[in-house]
Amino acid sequence: MNPHRIVIVGGGAGGLELATRLGDKFGKPKRAQVTLVDARLTHLWKPLLHEVAAGTFDSHENDVDYIAQAHLHHFVYRLGRMDNLDRERREVSLAPTLDEDGREIIPRRAIPYDTLVLALGSTSNDFGIPGVREHCVFIDDRAQADAFQRAVMRNYIRAQTQPERPVSDQLPLAIIGAGATGVELAAEMHNMAHQLVVYGFDRIVPERDLKIVIIEAADRILPALPKRLSEAAQDRLHKLGVEVYTRRRVTRVIAGGVQTQDGQFFHAALKVWAAGIKAPEFLHNLAGLETNRLNQLVVRPTLQTTYDDDIFAIGDCAACPQPGKDIPVPPTAQAAHQQAALLVKTIARRFNGKSLPTFTYRDRGSLISLSHYTTVGSLMGNLTGDVMIEGRFARLTYRMLYRLHQRALHGTLPMLLLLFSDFLQHRAHPRMKLH
């Protein structure tokens, strides 16, 4: 009898944790064939992308190799980008894989499944605003974050070596969207500017030359978080010299800057779009599956799609209901982690013909890192309730989230070894990426 075929599409936080745990549980004893599909060769924890973009975190020393992870944890990895689905034949269609010159490396192919889990993450939502796609930088993945970091370095090198041009004209940065990504990026860019002075960019005086503005359509930054966290974060940004403009809806972006609905124009050499997310476009009405206006797959509390019991969706690409609330489960790494943990139990119960458990999102709180300056957030627990934390303890807690992700992928001892290795590299390497 052939083993049950479990196919997971998307190797983000939820998808890779799920593949690892299912591989260990069912792949090793050959009870199932677990396959992970992703368009990239490596995985990086998405909440770290703002640090990659600022150059304060070296993505190439902290990524996870899918091929090696698959070998160590008894699942199969397939390089490819899903672009279609045949529910009748139970096959996932993968587009041809091309190299940098457009030459085909892997032809179009189909992967059969018995159970399919879609964990495709999300991309930036430009809301159709003119000029956003042409003139803004997006930080949806490592490639985009690396590209932004290179662009920043080019601007700094130009400003340092071209005395005939005012420095202040070459460095302004506009961040559109004051969610976690936008706020954390602003603080990290402030940190980066001061680090570059240490490394010889002495013509640039951050307090004088670096202008960072955040533009937000809502009435406060971090609108999805408690108001007191927003106020604490905005107070810290103000002390760092970051200009925050709320109730400003962007209507147009051009090469030289950003236009808002009240007629104000913000000059900016670089524009970062961090104003919203949506699921990948191809998911809209994929194979007749139900989707919402953000292209997210609508799922039941069991995480099964509404029209197909054999297809599950988790993470940012899933619209999962919350009992008693009008909004779905938030698109966060902690939600994806919880959904992946539930699906391990779900698939075990499917094998045994038992009823499936339902997903209940447990909000463990929110943490916003403002670089090394501070971290603000709240922790939620059954005994403590909602407790606001700030400073070093909050910063340590924020860093522990990444270590917990590493533990989920590698185990406790390898995580501790990685922690020790990172400590040694921090002592020997520059504090930021300079190329």
Alpha-carbon gap, residue 379 to 227, rounded angstroms: 15
- Residues counted in the chain: 435
**Predicted pLDDT at 383:** 46
SS3 content of the chain, % helix, strand, coil (to 5): 35, 25, 35
Average pLDDT score over the chain? 90
Right CATH for 4-122+279-351 from 1.10.3720.10, 3.20.20.140, 1.20.140.10, 3.50.50.60: 3.50.50.60
* Cβ atoms 418, 412 nearer than 8 A: no
The H-or-E segment that residue 77 falls in is strand 76-79
Alpha-carbon gap, residue 96 to 104, rounded angstroms: 7
Give the pairing of strands 212-215 and 243-245. parallel
Residue 431 has pLDDT above 70, yes or no: no
Alpha-carbon gap, residue 160 to 200, rounded angstroms: 9
Q: Which residues contact 360 (CB under 8 A, 6 or more apart)?
A: 301, 323
**Predicted pLDDT at 428:** 58
Q: Which residue has the higher pLDDT, 369 or 304?
A: 304
**Predicted pLDDT at 167:** 67
Least-confidence region, from 66-70, 99-103, 163-167, 324-328 = 163-167
Q: For the segment 88-100, what is each residue's pLDDT rounded down to a tens digit?
A: 999 999 999 999 8
In the predicted model, what is the mean pLDDT of residues 13-32?
Answer: 95
Alpha-carbon gap, residue 348 to 356, rounded angstroms: 9
- Between the alpha carbon of residue 269 and those of residues 7, 118, 151, the distances in Å are 43, 38, 10
Alpha-carbon gap, residue 292 to 299, rounded angstroms: 10
Q: For the segment 240-263, what is each residue's pLDDT rounded down to a tens digit?
A: 999 999 999 999 999 999 999 999
**Predicted pLDDT at 363:** 86
What is the amino acid identity at position 220? R
Which of 186, 133, 193, 152 is closest to 431 using CA atoms?
A: 193
What is the CB neighbour count within 10 angstroms for residue 93? Answer: 17
Q: For the segment 189-236, what is each residue's pLDDT rounded down to a tens digit?
A: 999 988 888 888 888 888 888 899 999 999 999 998 889 889 999 999
In the predicted model, what is the mean pLDDT of residues 418-427?
Answer: 76
> Dihedral (C-alpha) 26, 28, 29, 34: value to the nearest 10 degrees?
40
Q: What residue segments make up the domains of the chain, in order of their start?
A: 4-122+279-351, 132-276, 365-426
Tell me the pLDDT band of 427, cut-offs 50, 70 and 90.
Answer: low
Q: Look at domain 132-276 and name its CATH class.
A: alpha beta
Residue 61 has pLDDT above 80, yes or no: no
First to last CA, the chain: 54
Residue 162 has pLDDT above 90, yes or no: no
Alpha-carbon gap, residue 7 to 20, rounded angstroms: 12
Q: For the segment 309-322, what is each residue's pLDDT rounded down to a tens digit?
A: 999 999 999 999 99
Q: Is 400 helix (H, G, I), strand (E, B) or coil?
A: helix
